[in-house]
Amino acid sequence: MRHKPAACEGPEGRSDDLFRARLDQMIGNEHPLVKLAEKMPWEAIAERLSGVLPPEPAGAGRPALPMRLVVGLLYLKHAYNLSDEQVCARWLENPYWQHFCGEVYFQTVLPCDPSSLTRFRQRLGEAGVEELLAQTIEAAKAMKAIRPRDLERVVIDSTVQEKAVAYPTDSRLLEIARYKLVKAAKSEGIDLRQSYARIGPSLRRRAGGYAHAKQYKRLRRVLGKQRTILGRLIRDIQRKATTEQQRKLATLLERAERIRSQQKKDKNKLYALHAPEVECIGKGKARQPYEFGVKAGIAITAKKGLIVGARSFPGNPYDGDTLAEHLEQTEILTGIAPTTAIVDLGYRGRQPEGVTVIHRGKPKTLTASQKRLLKRRQAVEPTIGHLKEENRMRRCHLKGALGDAMNPVLAAAGYNLRWLMRWIIAFWAEILVALQPPIPPNRTAMTPDAAS
């Protein structure tokens, strides 16, 4: 559902704009979001994305939504940590958000169906969302919030972007696979010999109790029974399904067999039936030994903390092996090749050509200026914390490996949006202080006693 055009005709042919509320009369021009809307390169965004988006086929239905509206909603979604449904609902109530997205009059209906944002993200792909991040950097450069030479020194670190999946215990995975197989077989009209609808949940509860009581021998017996049941279902479906039915259920049967046969120490285990791209990553945290998702890397400017690079690294590579890709992406997004990379010890042993890598592994070889720069290494840690808590990077709710690749970039774009708004507030505060009249030197502040 889309709101009406700005100029709509009344029943007698006259324009109803006279009776509609203009946004510029409802909002304050000093609001940072209003000033940021004036500085964002909307025309450049539309031009660059037109080369990224695939062309729409002729006569494919109603016209597409305005580019500024959808891009603005994506920015606001990750800047304020909202879902697709929530950002559309809040856009309807907030005149500042409507102004940021290019509206002239206050709208009283939803800007679009929330599913339109999903389809637009899929059309954008990883290259499109990187363009959104690049334009926030261009806005910072145009506003002189950051100098070009600040982009030459970056701080790089990696983290884990968890997937929105339940904790993958063996018992739960086996029961979910059984349940999904039974449901899929019924939808295809396959008459199973037995569905194990009563004993399946019972075994899962028993496994949870044994694990809680640390009775691991009994737990292994229960897991063996669950594997036996899942194997019976897989073979029953394969015997009774037709060729067409087997083709439809091939992916589900293959994943169920992987869950049934995988062991504790196997590599490339399946941790979620609906998300095979999930990986088990250990970052050495005492509070959380294992995280299930994908490794992600963040690059910020060493002095100001603006994010100039964000991407995912499937396959859980060594941190040092991602350094060259980080620097390449940063150069593409900013247009300036970094000359200094400040990293932690996880990036030891890698020395990209033309880049000085600074870490605390060799303190005796560092110069005085490099030691000062090394103190900025920790600046990336709070940035990662803000990305996870405030910009939807804590758990990735986007589907598939493409969702894992887009989410950190969109989170970084949302973070930069908030960064620019904070800079605008600080900039105008300095201007107001400078405009205040100076206090005459012969005038002293009166004490309460003197005033009385």
**pLDDT digits over 200-236, tens only?**
999 999 999 999 999 999 999 999 999 999 999 999 9
pLDDT in tens, 232-241: 999 999 999 9
Residue (of 298, 302, 377, 376) closest to 338 by Cα position: 302
- pLDDT-derived band at 431 (thresholds 50, 70, 90) equals confident
The confidence score (pLDDT) of residue 21 equals 83
- pLDDT-derived band at 285 (thresholds 50, 70, 90) equals confident
The answer on 410 and 292 residing in a single domain is yes
pLDDT over 80 at 258, yes or no: yes
The domain boundary residue, chosen from 252, 274, 296: 274
Average pLDDT over residues 188-202: 95
In whole angstroms, give the CA distance from residue 88 to residue 114.
Answer: 7
Average pLDDT over residues 241-270: 93
Average pLDDT over residues 158-169: 95
Confirm whether 220 is domain-assigned: yes
On whether the CB atoms of residues 228 and 283 are closer than 8 A, the answer is no
Residue 298 vs residue 285, higher pLDDT: 298
Phi, psi of 275 (to 5 degrees): -135, 80
- Name residues whose C-beta falls within 8 Å of residue 35's C-beta, 6 or more positions apart in sequence: 29, 424
The domain boundary residue, chosen from 221, 252, 274: 274
The answer on 368 and 228 residing in a single domain is no
pLDDT over 70 at 13, yes or no: no
The confidence score (pLDDT) of residue 8 equals 46
The confidence score (pLDDT) of residue 51 equals 75
Residue (of 156, 151, 154, 159) closest to 323 by Cα position: 156
On whether the CB atoms of residues 314 and 183 are closer than 8 A, the answer is no
The answer on 183 and 156 residing in a single domain is no
Which strand (E) or helix (H) includes residue 319?
A: none
- Name residues whose C-beta falls within 8 Å of residue 170's C-beta, 6 or more positions apart in sequence: 207, 223
DSSP assigned state of 301: E
Percentage helix, strand, coil, to 5, in the chain?
55, 10, 35
Confirm whether 44 is domain-assigned: yes
The confidence score (pLDDT) of residue 405 equals 96
356: CATH: 3.30.420.10
Dihedral angle of Cα 409, 415, 416, 418, to the nearest 10 degrees: 150
The domain boundary residue, chosen from 218, 252, 274: 274
**End-to-end C-alpha distance for the chain, whole angstroms:** 66
Dihedral angle of Cα 330, 426, 101, 7, to the nearest 10 degrees: -150
- Name residues whose C-beta falls within 8 Å of residue 398's C-beta, 6 or more positions apart in sequence: 121, 404, 406, 407
pLDDT over 90 at 14, yes or no: no
In whole angstroms, give the CA distance from residue 107 to residue 198.
Answer: 53
Confirm whether 102 is domain-assigned: yes
The answer on 285 and 268 residing in a single domain is no
The answer on 194 and 114 residing in a single domain is no
Kindly state the percentage of the chain with pLDDT values over 70. 90
In whole angstroms, give the CA distance from residue 217 to residue 224.
Answer: 11
43-78 burial, b at 16+ Cβ within 10 Å, e below that, comes to eebeebbeeebeeeeeeeeeeebbbbbbbbbbbbbb
The confidence score (pLDDT) of residue 61 equals 67
The answer on 299 and 266 residing in a single domain is no
The confidence score (pLDDT) of residue 52 equals 75
pLDDT over 90 at 450, yes or no: no
Confirm whether 8 is domain-assigned: no
In whole angstroms, give the CA distance from residue 187 to residue 247.
Answer: 14
The answer on 410 and 297 residing in a single domain is yes
pLDDT over 70 at 331, yes or no: yes
pLDDT over 80 at 432, yes or no: no
On whether the CB atoms of residues 271 and 165 are closer than 8 A, the answer is yes
Residue 100 vs residue 263, higher pLDDT: 100
The answer on 152 and 285 residing in a single domain is yes
The answer on 204 and 187 residing in a single domain is yes
pLDDT in tens, 130-162: 999 999 999 999 999 999 999 999 999 999 999
Does the reported pTM lie above 0.85? Answer: yes
Number of domains in the chain: 3
- pLDDT-derived band at 11 (thresholds 50, 70, 90) equals very low
Confirm whether 10 is domain-assigned: no
- pLDDT-derived band at 268 (thresholds 50, 70, 90) equals confident
Which range (12-26, 119-133, 309-323, 416-430) has the least confidence?
12-26
Confirm whether 187 is domain-assigned: yes
On whether the CB atoms of residues 91 and 97 are closer than 8 A, the answer is yes
In whole angstroms, give the CA distance from residue 180 to residue 161.
Answer: 27
Q: Which domain holds residue 246?
A: 170-274
- pLDDT-derived band at 9 (thresholds 50, 70, 90) equals very low
Confirm whether 11 is domain-assigned: no
The answer on 372 and 288 residing in a single domain is yes
In whole angstroms, give the CA distance from residue 310 to residue 295.
Answer: 11
The answer on 330 and 405 residing in a single domain is yes
The confidence score (pLDDT) of residue 59 equals 61
Confirm whether 327 is domain-assigned: yes
The answer on 250 and 355 residing in a single domain is no
Average pLDDT over residues 166-191: 95
pLDDT over 80 at 446, yes or no: no
